[in-house]
Structure 1
Amino acid sequence: MKKVVSVFLSFAMIFGLAACGSGNSETTAAPTTAAETTAASETTAATKDTTAAAEGTTAAAGDVDYSQLKIGFVHISDPSDKGYTYNHNLGTEKMAKELGLDADTQIINKFNIKEDAECGTALRELVDAGCNIIFATSFGFENYVLEVAKEYPDVQFCHATGYQAATSGLSNVHNYFGEIHQARYLSGIAAGLKTSTNKLGYVAAMATPEVISGYDAFYLGAKSVNPDVTMEVMYTNSWNDPTKEAQVAKALIDDGCDVIGQHCDSTAAASTAEQNGVFHVGYNSDMREAAPKASLTSAIWDWSIYLEYAVTCVAKGEAIDVDWSKGLKDGVCDISPLNESIVADGTKDAIDAAREKLLTTDWDVFTGPLNDNEGNVAVPDGETFKEPASAPSFNFILEGITVKE
């Protein structure tokens, strides 16, 4: 049995987030694209047709009564990003359908909220609107969540990608995330098998632990099937800047990278890869529609699993976990369907084998020996770094990865 080591870096280092976009201050109440509006309408129709919900009970959840709940969300961008907020909102819609909620009357979304005092205002507006539980989905919202939660102890606040709930002293604050590094590892296998130049490129938002651990995992997946592969990383210094993402992707392509990965919100890297005749691996959502000739697969989330869990806890009057994180085994993280027309031969078999290993053994992605790109030991041989719940903290840039200016 391998020795499993839990490595907890200082909270000062843990300031990454799960690919949140830097939206504007406009607050919108519904998805903005036709496809999203249709999806929202279909969800609303489905929930309205749920007789139990209309009568104050929910057949989908047995004898649990959700009818008196009101649920609020604060997002940094809106579903038009086709990335992080888009996918989180899909989780909201799925949760509403599964629990028999009326999306028109029981769910309030605050889209395009900045990571400043505007967040505090949005949170208080949701409380004033009668929300029993509020989800804040961007890392930079956490301090405002703590501030408002202290004012309203009877309202539950759930914050994605944060780390302060356990030390806040507040029983109504909770952090949630998932083991996305496992999905990124699987998606990296597709990249490692597809590259002809043995040089991958990665469009990264910020130099934070969540982003670094993400591209480390992606690279390790590629290297597991292609020992000769290397990777170049460039930062956009923004969570959602399609213009900059396209520019960075093009710079990596011009430098010889023929498969582009990403940790940023938009589909600009995917489109740029297709326009330049190379390939792409996405994040948050299935990006085959944006780049059908380039997108191999994407690392994706199913946020509905946590949302259903937390909302059900409130409905039952039960405590929500202070820190919550699940992975492949629970369906929280995975990859989107492979683009069978362009993935390399053997990709499915290689990913299936890695998935089986993750699901059935104690092995995980950050298993040593691993060195950083300066020759220092990151994880000793025979040991495994286990990410703590809620906020990733693996902050080593691994050997084989070069960060470009």
Structure 2
Amino acid sequence: MKKICVLLFIFMLISVIFTGCSGSQVTGVKEGTKIDKKDLKIGFVHYSDPSDQGYTYNHNKATWKMAEELGIDKSQIINKYNVPDTAQAATAFRELAEDGCQIIFSTSHGHEDYLLEVAFEYPSVVFCHFSGVKAKSSGLKNVHNYFGDIAQVRYLSGVVSGLTTKTNKIGYVCAMDYTEVNNGLDAYYLGAKSVNEKIQVNATYLNKWYDPALEGQATKSLIDMGCDVVSHHADSTAGAAVCQENGAYFIPYNSDMSKVAPKAVLTGVRWDTSKYLIMAVQNVLDGTPSKIPVDYTGTLKNGMIYLDKINYSLLDKATAKKVKKAVESCKNEFETKKKYVFEGPLYNRDGKELVKAGEVFVEPKSSPSFGEVLQGINIKK
């Protein structure tokens, strides 16, 4: 009898340790049950922090826009910055779930497997992943992906570059040799080529997502090659500053960098993810998480992606007129599906056919899968 009592005591002790004494505040979301706004907690996990003035800065801006729109106090939002694409991401997701966040967002593609791991452990918590691709195949009802057809905006920025250049040489700084980056490079090239048959697109890879010094050096090397318009898929404002210093034009990604380089920034490839955040959070509040799409695609039409205002004051009147007409026409064709970014024939740099003549490639998911560098793009070693 004594032995049985001891065993029961041990069992009860273990139960207490893993429940009541764990400090867990997991509440989650139940379909059909509304959440009082004051009881809501929202978590975000970011690869870098807003000081990058680019990628995370823009996501962070959308967070506060969402909070203001929905009347959510900033104290109800927990941000975890500078979380690498390692097991540290899983720890960050668990901590947010344990802190009582009913919905958690991640903005790094590299967090995906860690997010899925933790989402399985917390089925009542909603997880939304920007640039992820595995929500549908995971079979987890609490996981959602969101991204946008940003290739359309990259294409439009290429149109601007192709009509603005005087040397017929334009540049592109790539953070990594990665699908999303190459997808944007391809779209930029195709946009420029559509309005300027003489165009030469030169690209260089950093092999780092965020390195201002390296971004600046890469931008300068492209300018030294004769590129008078440069764009990028990198995180800092370094490229903008270098272009201003060297009399070149710059088309930034993620944020408005015109304050850094007012005489260089022509336009920008931009996101406004606040519309998605508002929709997802509102569904959590309403107790309808099932209404959050498994895979959401932002478009020019719904405003999640857009080309920033073009600074026509930097251009002569004739060029400004051509740019305005071409961009408006192209944008309208994208919105009415009369035009697609990836229209065949298209080949990779080895000559392999990617899209046949007369055919178009349409992304099957919100995040890009078309990621081979196209024939005609010059990669600077």
Q: TM-score, normalised by structure 1?
A: 0.82
SS in structure 1 at match of 2:344:
coil
Which is helix-richer, 1 or 2? Answer: 2
- Tell me which residue corresponds to 1:360: 336
- Tell me which residue corresponds to 2:178: 208
Residues 61-210 of structure 1: pairs in structure 2 closer than 5 A: 66-104=37-75, 106-210=76-180
Partners in 1 of 2:313 and 2:35 — Cα distance?
45
Partners in 2 of 1:79 and 1:85 — Cα distance?
5
Q: Does structure 1 residue 306 correspond to structure 2 residue 306?
A: no
Partners in 1 of 2:297 and 2:233 — Cα distance?
19
- Tell me which residue corresponds to 2:230: 260
- Tell me which residue corresponds to 1:233: 203
- In the TM superposition, residue 377 of structure 1 has moved relative to its aligned partner by 2.2
Note if contact 1:372-1:398 (Cα within 8 Å) is conserved in structure 2. Answer: yes
- In the TM superposition, residue 65 of structure 1 has moved relative to its aligned partner by 5.3
- Tell me which residue corresponds to 1:224: 194
Note if contact 1:287-1:297 (Cα within 8 Å) is conserved in structure 2. Answer: no
- Tell me which residue corresponds to 1:335: 307
Note if contact 1:285-1:336 (Cα within 8 Å) is conserved in structure 2. Answer: no
SS in structure 1 at match of 2:250:
strand
Partners in 2 of 1:312 and 1:127 — Cα distance?
18
Q: How many residues align?
A: 342
Extract unaligned runs of 5+ from structure 2. 1-33
1:143-163 Cα shifts (integer Å, max 9, x gaps): 111111111111011111111
1:87-107 Cα shifts (integer Å, max 9, x gaps): 001111111111111122x21
Partners in 1 of 2:369 and 2:380 — Cα distance?
22
Note if contact 1:160-1:390 (Cα within 8 Å) is conserved in structure 2. Answer: no
Aligned in 2, Cα 1:117/1:376: closer, same or farther, shift over 3 Å? closer
* Root-mean-square deviation over aligned CA pairs: 1.5
Residues 259-298 of structure 1: pairs in structure 2 closer than 5 A: 259-298=229-268
- In the TM superposition, residue 321 of structure 1 has moved relative to its aligned partner by 1.6
User: What is the letter of the counterpart of residue 64 of structure 2?
Assistant: E
Aligned in 2, Cα 1:167/1:348: closer, same or farther, shift over 3 Å? same
SS in structure 2 at match of 1:295:
coil
Q: TM-score, normalised by structure 2?
A: 0.87
Partners in 2 of 1:95 and 1:358 — Cα distance?
27
- In the TM superposition, residue 136 of structure 1 has moved relative to its aligned partner by 0.7
- In the TM superposition, residue 397 of structure 1 has moved relative to its aligned partner by 1.6
- Tell me which residue corresponds to 1:245: 215
SS in structure 1 at match of 2:342:
coil
Partners in 2 of 1:81 and 1:321 — Cα distance?
30
Structure with greater Cα Rg: 2
Note if contact 2:210-2:234 (Cα within 8 Å) is conserved in structure 1. Answer: yes
SS in structure 1 at match of 2:37:
coil
Note if contact 1:299-1:334 (Cα within 8 Å) is conserved in structure 2. Answer: yes
Partners in 2 of 1:301 and 1:189 — Cα distance?
19
What is the aligned-residue identity percentage? 52
Moved more, 330-339 or 161-170: 161-170
- In the TM superposition, residue 363 of structure 1 has moved relative to its aligned partner by 2.1
- In the TM superposition, residue 64 of structure 1 has moved relative to its aligned partner by 8.9
Extract unaligned runs of 5+ from structure 1. 1-62
- In the TM superposition, residue 317 of structure 1 has moved relative to its aligned partner by 2.1
